[in-house]
Structure 1
């Protein structure tokens, strides 16, 4: 009995295999919270960025899910003409007008000029399409950023053909032609600026003072002195205060 009482006494140490292991106490909250001392050198900030130079697609009011998926599919397949044509005949063909134009704008924004030209060609075949100077201006600007001068020349030939066939793009509203002229000046296409101006006169789309001066200055900056002088003569005939003294002669 005495031996049993001694074994049960709290003063008697337990065998090692019955003892509770002791662990160091950690403040687990510090593992998940920032270093409370902001001046400590152990604090590091990791900044993540894009894996390449691709611009993110902007999703918003004018870019639907269908347009986003179409743009992504075209960009993935841009080096495979057969796959691109399959996407065009399936996904692109199902896009409504707003989505097609939104996808075109997104490809232009990301300087995917080859894909943008393909969608622009598709848009021009749609029943709802009408010759639009603003659409051409955006396409010219995209090609200018990609330094595709020969494609701009081809595009402007097609534009002139559309206008001559009764597109009506260079009559009435001045905003579209003004955007196109600005894009052509930025692209260094003086002859195209002169051609657009002649088409404006044929269609009865009379420039205002600002556009007259912009074309004159732009053409002179491009070395097109003769064309600038011709437009300057028309500007003088145009009259004081924006009142046309007489119809501008078509050269």
Structure 2
């Protein structure tokens, strides 16, 4: 069994706490017996002291009341977003729902846009437009359209675009690019290209390098390389040159598609351009392309060349190196990267932990894998589905069914969102171990979690049943798989296919 040495990442130093200083004691001066004059004066002084004491108590009472009011105001600031949400959910709030503070509504809107909660964001925007102080703002519209594009809501993005025009906002190339992005992200390339042509014929809305880069990226995500070449030719005809972002998008896509010749020619073209200097994103895309395909020596040579060009690595660079070395079983080099990260204080991210945990699991070193999992949790880094998949796969290979049960108990006590990949890993692990009852129980678990089995789920189970000699169960699942295939055929295809 292969073992890896794992230097534990440095923990943050504890905060120094200074003990609270004790209050100074007030020492009273010794006094002799007072004279009658002093007694009268002392009585008057006592009355004055009583008045002062009452004034002091009254002042402290007022201060205490003021502090309570201030505290309530502070709490109200914290709870303001929830109050706004309550008004939004009712849609028709109280009579003063049109007099909310600008900061209250805008903060609520920004929060929902950032979290991609598009339905709630549109409700807040509806409330915003009802305010007495509201003035149409093209920047807010563009942010909403971009958000809707990311959430695959192109029709709603188009509706907002039309509302933006109706309200008299300035519609520039940024607004058109946001709508174009919404169409292309959803695979509506006919509409996206039509909008591109409209931009060319609209004054002050000419497409720029950002517009083309957005469209190129969307085409590459669906492997439409022919459309990318058309766009690059169109850019050249328009006199628009690719920038570093454009080249990085191309290099990354060619690398993921294993089209190394085109990736290298794009990189050379980028270098010839002169104005487009490679950056850390260029380096990471190149390293990932060669590393993921097992070309470790080429990856290392590229790393040296990028470093000699003055490009410094970041945490993503080291994660790529760790992943590449781990999958190539280059454990000594992997350990060297880990030591370098520790020496130069690169804090581990969830990706780092996932990569290293997976490498230990593949190597069969369960002890180190479990140590890293505990360390990850002690540093308050929440495990993801990727983490859990690595654990389940490793335990399945090692024949540790009871350990898989431990992972499931951990899941029950956590809020980790499970996906189909995790369930398929779980099915595969139980199938390997011949735990057919548990494997069948995964389907029930999926139903409870609202996750539907796919082709991989059924194929994995069928394979396990066949190996175990349970042919009747295998035939039953084959029928279910055919039904799944028929359902998938009924789904629509992107308009460019």
TM-score band w.r.t. shorter chain: 0.3 to 0.5
Q: TM-score, normalised by structure 2?
A: 0.26
Q: Which has the higher helix share?
A: 2
Structure index of larger Rg: 1
